[in-house]
Structure 1
Amino acid sequence: MLLDGVNHIAWISKDVARLGAFYAAVFDAEVGPTRPHGDEPGETMTIIRIGPRTELNIVTIEGNTEPDRQTPMWGRGRIDHVGLGAADPAAFEEIRRRLVEAGASDGHVNDFGGALSLFFRDPDGLEGEVLLPKD
């Protein structure tokens, strides 16, 4: 393969501070500073590092209503949800505990054959999934 993973995922949020606090608390993510972004006033971007080479690029745009639009699975547009890879079984269990504690997941683990999967919903309403490949 010519690629070694995902560099970043970008989306629009209404409250980057709340979102950054959630990803830091649950996933030990590193939240960078919020900086102006783009050509329009009222547009910012904050980088949240979620892995050694993976970031969330969170953009806020004054007056943009896209973050309000959350519909059932497969009705959310071209990108439906984000799947994150747990570093190891202990990390998977710790993430699961933190998600349940945060009220972001019921903690149910799905066995999809090749991987264990845990769904969550972040403070913006974006559905996410944490996966642990099975050996």
Structure 2
Amino acid sequence: MSRRISSPEAIKRISKDLNLAPPDSFTQDWEYEVADRLRLEEFIQAYNDHRYGGDEKFVLMRLMIQAFDDALQFEDERCDRLWNEIVPFLVSDANLHKATISYWCLWNEDDCGLDEESSFAVTKQMRQVDKIISANN
């Protein structure tokens, strides 16, 4: 699967709109660097903003999944509720988020003996989403 990258224009817009640190010349994977589990609800709310198109939604989803992964690691009590808000976005915009879902699922890592402790905290949930999407197709 080809890896989609975030457009610089979408990153610039989201960083400005959400008051996030803009990327600099040394930034790689900006969404993962600025994701903040304490702002996850704000990212979800922004995803619902009808002003944003596919490029911005792609950026926002990467922010949300990284923030959610962090929330799981911190055993944030909001996780179940927030995940139930994120899943419909992943399912309804599955084509847009195919590469993101695949990344977090780590399907290819199974062949390398990856165990639960070596995976992302959100891998189990993302695999469930991937199975839902596959069943719908």
Do these two structures clear the TM 0.5 threshold for a shared fold by scoring above it?
Answer: no
Which is helix-richer, 1 or 2?
A: 2
Larger gyration radius, structure 1 or structure 2:
1
Which is strand-richer, 1 or 2?
A: 1
Larger relative contact order (CA 8 Å, sep ≥ 6)? 2
Q: What is the TM-score with the length of structure 1 in the denominator?
A: 0.30
Q: What is the TM-score with the length of structure 2 in the denominator?
A: 0.29
